[in-house]
Amino acid sequence: MAKHATMQIRIDEDLKEQADRLFEALGLSPSEAVRLFVAQSVIERRLPFTPHLSKSEGGMSAFGKLRHYANPHLTGDERAAWLKKQGENTGDARFCTTTVADAATTIVDETVLLHYLLDDEPRPSAKARRLIASGCAQAYPETAALTVQLLEEGYRVPRSLIGTVMELLADDVSFQDGATVRLAARLYAGNRLSFTACLIAARNVLTGYPVETFNKQLSNITR
């Protein structure tokens, strides 16, 4: 006889009410719906739908989140003084959001994303903020991978924090293959794989396509 295990999750109260109404209309209990989802995901080795992990783009949820890593050589009182100076330089402008209704799409690279996350220099950081807040910035998975590499190797940001911040960044910037970038960010925070390898693992989960690799760690999570 198969052994049974319990799976517990926490969700927003309003979301639960909507889910209860939907499942009732489908003739399912919440537990039956969850069991079907888990079983189908395991059978197909992928999610049975394309997840939309972000409600909007063009926000500012990630702006300046890594500000205190911008000058890693400063410590103690020096860092506190530098942070205070940066706050005075940028002033209240950082809290202003400008939306351009019909703005043309603009491709941004890792330098724009780094200035946005680190808020390290007043002028380029403010420009990066305005561009991303307008909703017209677009980036690609390879740019996300390079940004992650620079944050870890150049700024010594912990992997767990990078994963969290990159997921927030994917809410602000329109990433091509955004669902993959978001899932890769979550995977990156919990293992020692490169972000590029996490992108491959994320695509494996989302598409169900098999992965051939000689990387043992990647092979273990894509079986």
**What's the length of the chain?**
223
Higher pLDDT pick, 9 / 126: 126
Is the pLDDT reported for residue 92 higher than 50?
Answer: no
Question: pLDDT per residue over 100-130, tens digit each?
Answer: 444 588 999 999 999 999 998 889 999 999 9
Beta strands in the chain (DSSP E): 106-107, 137-139, 174-175
Question: pLDDT per residue over 142-201, tens digit each?
Answer: 999 999 999 999 999 999 999 999 999 998 999 999 999 999 999 999 999 999 999 999
Give percent above pLDDT 90 in the chain.
Answer: 44
Higher pLDDT pick, 200 / 222: 200
CA gap 215, 108 in Å, rounded: 31
Q: Which helix (H) or strand (E) holds 82?
A: helix 76-90
* Across 190-218, average pLDDT: 94
- DSSP-H helix ranges across 26-158: 30-44, 76-90, 110-118, 122-133, 141-154
Q: What is the pLDDT of residue 90?
A: 42
Question: pLDDT per residue over 13-71, tens digit each?
Answer: 888 888 888 888 888 888 888 888 888 877 777 666 666 554 445 677 888 888 878 76
pTM of the model: 0.66
Show the tokens assigned to 206. 């989302």
Q: What is the pLDDT of residue 107?
A: 95
Residue 125, Cβ neighbours under 10 Å: how many? 25
Residue 119, Cβ neighbours under 10 Å: how many? 26
Strands 137-139 and 106-107 turn out to be parallel
